[in-house]
Amino acid sequence: MPSKTLMINSNSAHKSAAQPRSRASHVVQPQSGPQSPEVFAASADGLAGRDLCSIADLSVQETASILELAHAVKANPTEYNHALDSKQMVMFFEKASLRTRLTFEAAINTLGGNAIFVDQTQSPLGERESLADMSRNLERWMNIIVLRTYSHETIVEMAQCADVPVINALSDYEHPCQALADFMTLEEKFGTARGLKFCYVGDGNNVCHSLILTAAQLGAHCTIATPKGYAPKLDIVAQAIEIAESTGGSITLMHDPAKAVEGASAVYTDVCVSMGFEHESTKREPIFRPYQVNEKLMSLAAPDAVFMHCLPARRNAEVTDAVLDGPQSIVFDQAENRMHLQKALLLMLLDGAGKSPMERKFSRAASAPKSGKRAEVTALS
């Protein structure tokens, strides 16, 4: 297969491409290790009341803070059991869902809040009532709105109209919650994403878009291998270039999956026919067949490489059973971490994070039973 490679880690002509809507005004080096209470508090204050339509809505520091909080929530869940007491979350889903719906519901419920689900699979949002009118109603009853839609513009318009936070739980343009949970999982496996060689093989779709932006924010080296005509959108690539220049990361686009996977620490794929593109199934399947992640392709990655997939997977299509169920697969760790990451996101957007993870760690240490002679005497008495 001929290989065409585009290395993007410095100034590029793609910078002239249109930029996605973003509230992140500047880019800084990603935080290494636990954040100070002051740095975490600055991120928490900045995120309170905000929307998450795109990864580009976040600054580098805000992304790091969300991930640090997600790890803390996972490690010490009971400390946050009542952080969002009485908060109301409504979810409008135009697409079917397993992981996204259940992890959001479990997240808010275990934080003390309540989830209300509205099935929009038979009636697209904005059809019965304008999005502006819906927003003005919802903001009077709800504390946060979660949308899973076909059109990204639906999410953007709702966010512009509503005075409460709006979260993109998947659109045709991005899947930010998925990407954040994926890189949380990589941090668990490798300690940090900074300098990590991350490879995505397959369709340059919504998941791919969010992964590129998140990789850039965390200083990872991201390689994308897609068939010709299926590369990620240039506005996403342009945004990732700008971020990667400041974080030490890089973005590489190519068409050769074997070359892309070579030496990678993480190999990621997704279905080649996303929801909404089912009519292209017959056309796409032969085009994407050479991009299947199988044992031969995984053998080119680093010895400690992991395999990733956002699920649901089409077994023996984009990935073989041997890889999906094999020892390198961390797909169910990714799925689990959706809940923990979304807990952190809800806490941040609803101003419920409270003390920083570092402060909480110090508090736990201070309240822990003291060891030494007094403890020994107590044990013997």
Active site residues: 148, 175, 178, 270, 310, 338
CB count in 10 Å sphere of residue 204 = 22
Query: For 298-303, which contacts have Cβ atoms below 8 Å and span 24 or more sequence positions?
Result: 298/261, 298/267, 298/323, 298/326, 298/328, 300/258, 300/261, 300/262, 300/263, 301/199, 301/261, 301/262, 301/263, 301/264, 301/265, 301/267, 302/197, 302/263, 302/264, 302/265
CB count in 10 Å sphere of residue 283 = 10
Cis peptide before 2 (omega within 30 of 0): no
Say if residues 334 and 308 touch (Cβ distance below 8 Å).
Answer: yes
Say if residues 199 and 35 touch (Cβ distance below 8 Å).
Answer: no
CB count in 10 Å sphere of residue 248 = 16
